[in-house]
């Protein structure tokens, strides 16, 4: 069975943004979809190891799983790709450098190992907004280049969030799966 894991942004919930829409669309296509509430992502200090353990303990991700990460969920996607194999990674509003934000320090005990990520996940796609106030179009393009990702320019989607830009659907995701 085809599977998809949707990793939400910091301070988001599985019921917010475009996540319910995507879950429904993927289920119509025969996917088993998991959109978990990520532990510690609702607080001021999201913890990478807690989130990784939560995901790996479920034994959901395998070599055929598509992992879709949004904002901080993209960093979690990359860190998962350093540790395990899965079928595809789709990144929305992605950055891959230590942003020096104290709240994100658990994600930056070391820099991302892009080569290991590419070894574990063969197909990468990056959806890029023209007017994201946090992740510029240039930065998102550079991230895509480091992963050898297909770049999908989505126009003015701000940070791909409902609160910032009113984004409740991202049909471009379906086109890269």
DSSP 100-132: --GGGGGG-SS---HHHHHHH--EEEEEE-SS-
What average pLDDT does the structure give for the chain? 96
Q: Which residues contact 41 (CB under 8 A, 6 or more apart)?
A: 8, 9, 10, 11, 12, 51, 72
Q: Which residues contact 47 (CB under 8 A, 6 or more apart)?
A: 39, 40, 106
Rounded to whole angstroms, how far apart are CA atoms 174 and 6? 13
Rounded to whole angstroms, how far apart are CA atoms 7 and 13? 10
Number of domains in the chain: 1
Rounded to whole angstroms, how far apart are CA atoms 109 and 112? 9
Is it the case that residue 142 has pLDDT exceeding 80? yes
pLDDT of amino acid 170: 98
For the four alpha carbons of 92, 5, 101 and 142, in that order, the dihedral sign comes to negative
Q: Which domain holds residue 17?
A: 3-176
**How confident is the model over 5-43, as pLDDT tens digits?**
999 999 999 999 999 999 999 999 999 999 999 999 999
**How confident is the model over 74-109, as pLDDT tens digits?**
999 999 999 999 999 999 999 998 777 888 889 888
pLDDT of amino acid 102: 84
Q: Is 148 helix (H, G, I), strand (E, B) or coil?
A: coil
Mark 72-87 as b/e (b = at least 16 C-beta within 10 Å).
bbbbbbbbbbbebebb
Domain CATH for 140? 3.40.50.1820
DSSP 46-108: --HHHHHHHHHHTT---TTEEEEEETHHHHHHHHHHHH---SEEEEES---S----GGGGGG-
Residue 47's pLDDT band (cuts 50, 70, 90): very high
pLDDT of amino acid 77: 98
pLDDT of amino acid 72: 96
Higher pLDDT, 69 or 106: 69
Backbone angles phi and psi of 82, in degrees to 5: -75, -20
């Amino acid at each position: 069975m085809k599977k998809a894991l949707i990793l939400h942004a910091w301070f988001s919930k599985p019921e917010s943004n475009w996540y319910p829409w995507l879950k429904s669309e993927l289920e119509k296509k025969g996917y088993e979809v998991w959109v978990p509430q990520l532990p510690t992502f609702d607080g001021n200090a999201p913890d990478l190891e807690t989130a990784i353990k939560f995901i790996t303990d479920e034994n959901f991700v395998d070599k055929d799983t598509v992992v879709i990460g949004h904002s901080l969920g993209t960093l979690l996607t990359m860190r998962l790709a350093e540790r395990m194999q899965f079928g595809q990674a789709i990144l929305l509003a992605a950055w891959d450098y230590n942003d020096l934000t104290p709240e994100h320090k658990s994600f930056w005990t070391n820099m991302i190992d892009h080569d290991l990520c590419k070894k574990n996940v063969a197909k990468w796609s990056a959806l890029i907004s023209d007017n994201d106030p946090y992740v510029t179009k240039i930065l998102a393009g550079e991230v895509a280049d480091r992963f050898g990702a297909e770049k999908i320019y989505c126009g003015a989607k701000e940070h791909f969030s409902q609160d910032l830009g009113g984004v409740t659907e991202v049909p471009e995701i379906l086109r890269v799966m």
